[in-house]
């Protein structure tokens, strides 16, 4: 009987190299599959939030859930609590507080508020378009919203619901209260205020007032801001002056802008 020959060193190296090549080929595919699955789950979450938001308005004579401001961010809005980069902030993990907001009774599942691609593990990843809903429970109105960005207070106020987003992924470094203030307070600049996230392969999820959702791919490299944990307003698009992304988002915030803002009309 012949003795079984062992693998030579060269043969072992060839096998190891082949496995490494296959792994290198498969890892990007697996990563894309994971991102696609997370994107699908994210859209499913915002779909259910949209449904809850719609049913709430139906129950309250078409009045939209409150989208509270910084000065009244702890109670009374569509969500309660205020997130931050502070690891000691109890609101970051307090799903009971979050669910005590106006939509809590219509959602039941706290997991709907968190994008599966969000690496921070806070209770909420989504924010609401700052033009949607009243800004506080005490009648407060911002000067910024008077004419330049008209508010939608009732379902009937939407002029073009198919291009008016309601919920979106917000960047972990800017998420705090329940609203996402996309433009800078200075209307003459093109700076992000509350920055959009880029979880989904350099894209973010948006849910619109007509009930549809989409994952929007960013075009400008400056939009893809790394997570730094500074919880600050981030003027990302000053240099170079590439405004494709922020124009896309702003044109779908409140698509009934006055004539002085024709450059940001829906498109």
Question: Which pLDDT does position 261 carry in this prediction?
Answer: 39
Q: Is residue 32 part of a domain?
A: no
Question: Which pLDDT does position 148 carry in this prediction?
Answer: 61
Report pLDDT digits (tens) over 167-208.
999 998 889 889 888 776 555 566 777 888 998 889 999 999
Q: Is residue 178 part of a domain?
A: yes
Q: How many domains does the chain have?
A: 1
Higher pLDDT, 231 or 63: 63
Model pTM above 0.75: yes
Residue 63 backbone dihedrals phi, psi, to 5 degrees? -75, 130
pLDDT confidence band for 100 (50 / 70 / 90) = very high
> In terms of residue numbers, what domain contains 125?
41-264
pLDDT confidence band for 144 (50 / 70 / 90) = very low
Check pLDDT > 60 for residue 38.
Answer: yes
Q: Give the HSE-up count for residue 142: Cα atoms under 13 Å, Cβ half-sphere.
A: 20
Q: How far apart are CA 231 and CA 17, in angstroms?
A: 44
Q: Is residue 132 part of a domain?
A: yes
Question: Which pLDDT does position 215 carry in this prediction?
Answer: 92
Question: Which pLDDT does position 31 carry in this prediction?
Answer: 52
Check pLDDT > 80 for residue 106.
Answer: yes
Q: Is residue 245 part of a domain?
A: yes
Question: Which pLDDT does position 13 carry in this prediction?
Answer: 74
Q: Which of 11-15, 71-75, 151-155 shows the lowest mean pLDDT across its residues?
A: 71-75
Q: Is residue 21 part of a domain?
A: no
Q: What is the mean pLDDT of residues 10-38?
A: 67
Q: Is residue 203 part of a domain?
A: yes
Higher pLDDT, 164 or 228: 164
Q: How far apart are CA 243 and CA 250, in angstroms?
A: 10
Q: Is residue 51 part of a domain?
A: yes
Q: What is the mean pLDDT of residues 143-152?
A: 62
Report pLDDT digits (tens) over 41-86.
899 999 999 999 999 999 999 999 998 765 555 567 899 988 988 8
Q: Is residue 28 part of a domain?
A: no
Check pLDDT > 70 for residue 228.
Answer: yes
């Amino acid at each position: 009987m012949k003795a079984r020959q062992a693998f030579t060193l060269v043969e072992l190296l060839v096998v190891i190299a082949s496995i490494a090549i296959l792994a290198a080929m498969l890892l990007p595919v697996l990563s894309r599959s994971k991102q696609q699955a997370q994107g699908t789950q994210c859209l499913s979450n915002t779909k259910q939030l949209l449904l809850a938001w719609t049913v709430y308005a139906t129950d309250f004579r078409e009045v939209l859930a409150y989208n509270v401001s910084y000065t009244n961010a702890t109670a009374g809005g569509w969500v309660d609590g205020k997130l931050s980069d502070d690891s000691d902030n109890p609101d970051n993990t307090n799903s009971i507080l979050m669910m005590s907001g106006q939509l809590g009774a219509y959602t039941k599942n706290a997991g709907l508020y968190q994008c599966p691609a969000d690496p921070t593990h806070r209770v909420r990843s989504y924010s609401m378009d700052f033009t949607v809903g009243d800004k506080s429970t005490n009648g407060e109105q911002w000067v910024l919203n008077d004419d330049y960005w008209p508010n939608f207070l009732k379902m009937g106020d939407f002029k073009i619901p198919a291009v008016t987003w309601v919920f979106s992924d917000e960047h972990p470094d800017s998420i705090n209260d329940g609203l996402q203030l996309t433009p800078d307070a200075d209307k003459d600049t093109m700076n992000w205020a509350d920055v959009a996230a880029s979880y989904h392969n350099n894209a973010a999820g948006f849910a619109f007032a007509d009930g549809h959702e989409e994952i929007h791919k960013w075009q400008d490299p400056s939009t893809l801001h790394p997570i730094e944990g500074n919880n600050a307003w981030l003027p990302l698009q000053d240099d170079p002056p590439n405004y494709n992304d922020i124009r896309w988002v702003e044109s779908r915030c409140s698509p009934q802008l006055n004539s002085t803002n024709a450059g940001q009309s829906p498109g």
